[in-house]
Structure 1
């Protein structure tokens, strides 16, 4: 697994969490700029999914099992879009809180992916 991509995705997810957390602190819902940030983080997760699948196809194996690795990759990919849709349903500060929590969850998933691969 590419360590730099994992770190970049984690840092971007934590930056998104801080940004949306600040918006929630200011009693603001998610705005268009937040959704652009969510798209960037989701794109990083998609690139990570593609890189992970390519490495599996090339014959490389994660230490803790392929099934759990693919499951975490798919969960990481779905995390930010899921909270983005939830924040659209809740157009108050709690939508921003939801996205902030999703960013923290994605960062934790990235740490776990690194651990599963054998980092």
Structure 2
């Protein structure tokens, strides 16, 4: 797995979490620019998903098993879009809190992906 991509994705997820947490602190729902941030973080997760699948297809194996690695990759890919969708249904500060929580979860998943790969 690419360590730099994992690090960049985790940091971007934490920045998104801090940004949306600040919006929640100010009692604001998610706005259009938050969704742009979510799109950037999701794009990084898509790139990571593709890189992970390509590495598996080339015969490289994660240290802790392919099945769990793929499950974590899919979870990392779906984390922020799911939080963004839920924030659309909750147009209060709780929508921003949901996205902030999704960013934190994605950052934790990045650490776990690094561990599973054998980092």
Q: Same fold (TM over 0.5)?
A: yes
* TM-score normalised by the chain length of structure 1: 1.00
Q: What is the Cα deviation at residue 54 of structure 1? A: 0.4
Task: Indicate the residue corresponding to 1:102 in structure 2.
Answer: 102
2:39 matched residue in structure 1: 39
Is residue 16 of structure 1 aligned with residue 16 of structure 2? yes
Paired with 2:11 and 2:54, the residues of 1 have a C-alpha distance of: 23
Structure 2 Cα separation of the partners of residues 104 and 88 of structure 1: 19
Give the drift of 1:97.
0.3
The yes-or-no answer on 1:2 pairing with 2:11 is no
| Alpha-carbon separation, structure 1, partners of 2:64 and 2:113 | 10
Where has structure 1 moved over 6 Å in runs of 4 or more?
A: none
Any residues of structure 2 matched to 1:46-57 within 5 Å, and which? 46-57=46-57
Aligned Cα root-mean-square deviation (Å) = 0.2
Q: Tell me what 1:78 maps to.
A: 78
**TM-score normalized by structure 2?**
1.00
Whole-angstrom distance in 1 between the partners of 2:87 and 2:58: 38
C-alpha distance in structure 1 between counterparts of 2:55 and 2:85, whole Å: 31
Distance in 1 (CA, whole Å) between partners of 2:81 and 2:95 is 13
User: SS at 1:85's partner residue?
Assistant: helix
Unaligned runs of 5+ in 2: none
Distance 1:113 1:38 in 2: 20
